[in-house]
Amino acid sequence: MTFAFIYGLGEYIWMNWINPPKSGEEIRREQIQTWAKSIVNYENRFEVEMTEFYNLVDLLDRRDLTEAEFSRLQTCQQNVLAISKEARNLKVPSKVSNTQLLIIDYYTKAYDAIYNFNQGVTYYDSYYINKASFAASEAERIGENANNQFKKLMDEFNIACTEINFCE
């Protein structure tokens, strides 16, 4: 009997004082923090691809792309599409769904820009280059809006940039 009482008391102390149950707000914060870490991962990968893309665009201003460079352009296109699909498949807390949709739209517009640029280079067609330019402008606008909403969520849930490796 004494053992059961001591065991029960020990469990009570562990559950309520040492490891108390988490509130709904703490659980929601953890879910949003986990989501934010995924978004930061996508953003880091996306930034690498877009840097490569813009480097190739700069090269094309000076000369035609080599086969290897054109292949890198296609790889950028495929990688941005993959990031967009991964973000689309990410399970998100309902509180962040609007921001998530903006982020997906941002990646999709960036993909459109790269795709149309790729088509313009392939077919030497300024129509596609103009479409690429428009898509890039839209991606920029949507990305800025998504970034602002992302930062607001981080502030709302007191998630520091160091917690999600997103310090600028």
Question: pLDDT of 37-89, one tens digit each?
Answer: 999 999 999 999 999 999 999 998 899 999 999 999 999 999 999 999 999 99
How is residue 138 written in tokens? 């839209």
Question: pLDDT of 102-151, one tens digit each?
Answer: 999 999 999 999 999 999 999 999 999 999 999 999 999 999 999 999 99
Q: Please tell me the distance from the alpha carbon of residue 14 to that of residue 25, in angstroms, as a whole number.
A: 21
Q: Please tell me the distance from the alpha carbon of residue 38 to that of residue 163, in angstroms, as a whole number.
A: 12
Domain spans in the chain, listed from the N-terminal domain onward: 27-164
How is residue 46 written in tokens? 């996306």
Question: pLDDT of 25-41, one tens digit each?
Answer: 566 899 999 999 999 99
Q: Containing H/E element for 156? A: helix 126-156
Helices (H), 1-125: 2-13, 24-62, 67-89, 97-123
